Amino acid sequence: MSQGKRLAEIVAAHAHREGPLLPILHDVQAAFGCIDREAEATIALALNLSRAEVRGVVSFYHDFRVEADPRPEVQLCRAEACQARGVEALVPAAEAAAGDRVRLSTAYCLGLCSVGPNARVGDDLFARLDEAALVKLIEAA
């Protein structure tokens, strides 16, 4: 299916909702890995917004990207409770394991704060990580 057609479908699926922009952006991001110029223009037109308004929203939220990044992503929690359980000591090894192949990003709390350090890969969660387990997780991503 062409990108234009898929985009139109996503927009149509949410058009009846109150305040449809965020649900649309989530779906576009899920379908294309980002919200690019073309998507931005289509969405703006459909919702009767300026492109600047759409871009303003996209850039505000950490979840949205303007350019796709095809690399697998591992999100490591580095918030206070995981800090207290030693996550920072794992970071150098994690970065080395990730290299350029894996996007190692940071989450601020996955809600598993008593069993950290924790990480998320897609919708899968991993608790009680030590250096070996985290490196293995990144290498398998």
In the list ligand FES, another protein, none, the entry touching 136 (Cβ below 5 to 8 angstroms by class) is: none
CA 101/CA 119 separation, integer angstroms? 17
Contacts of 16 (CB under 8 A, 6+ apart): none
Choosing from 3, 6, 26, 36, the residue that interacts with another protein (CB under 8 A) is 26
- Interface with another protein by CB under 8 A: which range of 1-9, 94-102, 115-123, 133-141? 115-123
Give CA angle at 61 (1, 47), nearest 5°.
55
CA distances from 43 to 3, 14, 35 (A): 13, 11, 10
**Would you count residue 125 as binding ligand FES (CB under 6 A)?**
no
Map the footprint of ligand FES across residues 21-80, applying CB under 6 A. 77, 79-80
Phi then psi for residue 56, to 5 deg, are -60, -40
| Interacting residue ranges for another protein, rule: CB under 8 A | 17-23, 25-26, 47, 56-57, 60-64, 79-85, 107-116, 118, 120, 123-128
| Interacting residue ranges for ligand FES, rule: CB under 6 A | 77, 79-82, 109-113, 116, 118
